[in-house]
Amino acid sequence: MAHAYTPGLKVTEQVRVVKERILPLKGEVLVKKGDQVEPDAVVAQTHLPGPVEPVNIANILGVPPEDVLECMLKKEGEPIKTGEVIARSSSFFGLFKSECKSKTEGTVENISHITGQVLLRGLPMPVQVKAYLKGEVVAVHPQEGVTVACIGAFVQGIFGIGGETHGPIRVLSKDHGEILDEEHIPNDCKGQVLVGGSLVTAAAMKRAIAVGAKGIVVGGFGDRDLRDFLGYDLGVAITGSEELGITLVVTEGFGTIAMAEKTFQLLKRHEGELACINGATQIRAGVIRPEVVIPRVTRAVDQVAEPQIAGLAVGSPVRVIRQPYFGHLGVVTDLPAPLQKLESESHARVLEVELDGGQRAIVPRANVEMIEEI
């Protein structure tokens, strides 16, 4: 029987989660294999070269480029401070002097006697890589970083904004279909990861930031609310670098879409437990999904076998990702093998799905996304 590729999102009570924590440049690894780490633990660090600032010394001092080297009070490689005089010239037997002061702190990178320019290098910028997960260091990559792993519950989202953060889970919605508005956000949410139902409003997001919440996990988010909240159209860029003060993970899609009941119940079962979340999303090549990780076991993580994901079959839970049933959840009831003619007069493989309300529908297999409940 022929198969059609069906993308899926993982929603599981227990899985081995492995994360590579790698520096952008070679640096120093601060932990060793077997160490237990917390999400905020710095596992590796390095320094990025500071910014370069060109200074036209010849123009400032009014001297020819070939005389710049004689006017320099600082040589290549020497440290400088903001406001420090780095070059000086005198004329008319020393009666008139011209000075050039540094506008940055760092070092003298290069002095050119051809252009009369001096390059000043700012201070190195420290870069730290944190563990992100509460888990165990299972591998060390010298001068580059580490691999951290844990066993825990795992939920993949469909869209997110904001970077890595963590906090205890707090469920604010009564059920998976309730809208999370600003009046649902209490004052005592500082440091917490909030769980909503079918939608979170922009007002609720701003309220959550005001009270110090770390993140929100919810079924849907409005496109207009996203634009209002960000202040610009997102486009197709990679998300996750936004500095908004909060991380959002959307599990179902845009609009008022109820969170999958099993996803909501999984999060509710773990209320009060630590959740590590990341809103980074990329929908083009090299897909990146937002995620929620609830670490439960941190030791002996290498002894857990990786789960085997079965393909699409009768009984598989799916989500429809295109109209006219966009956002509906259901269960596959039949997988007819022959190609069938669609309304567009094209032919494709289809499946029969029983939607949550009991309605049965024939849907192209390319229009569904399997929910991988491991």
pLDDT tens sequence for the chain (374 residues): 344 444 567 888 999 999 999 999 999 999 999 999 999 999 999 999 999 999 999 999 989 999 999 999 999 999 999 999 999 998 765 567 889 999 999 999 999 989 999 999 999 999 999 999 999 999 999 999 999 999 999 999 988 999 999 999 999 999 999 999 999 999 999 999 999 999 999 999 999 999 999 999 999 998 888 888 887 777 656 787 788 899 999 998 888 888 988 899 999 999 999 999 999 988 766 678 899 999 987 665 555 545 555 567 888 888 787 777 776 778 888 888 788 877 777 778 888 888 877 888 888 887 887 776 65
Cα separation, 206 vs 16, in Å, equals: 34
Can you list the pairs that 282-289 forms with residues at least 24 positions away whose Cβ atoms lie under 8 Å?
A: 282/238, 282/239, 283/236, 284/236, 288/238, 288/240, 289/9, 289/156, 289/157, 289/158
Contact indicator for 221, 159 with CB cutoff of 8 Å: yes
CATH 2.30.30.30 segments of the chain: 317-373
Which residues of the chain does CATH 2.40.50 include?
52-122
**Domain 158-289 fold:** Glucose Oxidase; domain 1 (3.50.30)
Amino acid identity of residue 304, one-letter, is: V
CATH 3.50.30 residue ranges for the chain:
158-289
* pLDDT score, position 165: 96
User: Are the beta carbons of 282 and 169 closer than 8 angstroms?
Assistant: no
Tokens of 107: 């070092």
Determine the topology of domain 317-373 in CATH.
SH3 type barrels. (2.30.30)
φ, ψ of residue 128 to 5 degrees: the values are -120, 140
357 burial via Cβ count (<10 Å: 0-12, 13-18, 19+) = exposed
Is the separation of the CB atoms in 266 and 13 below 8 Å? yes
CATH 2.40.30 at 52-122, yes or no: no
pTM higher than 0.85:
no
How many angstroms separate the CA atoms of 253 and 167, rounded? 23
- DSSP for 14-31? EEEEEEEEE-SS--EE--
**According to the model, what pLDDT value does residue 349 have?**
84
- The stretches of the chain forming alpha helices (DSSP H) are 57-61, 68-71, 202-210, 223-230, 261-269
pLDDT for 303: 52
pLDDT of residue 271: 96
CB 278, CB 289: distance < 8 Å: no
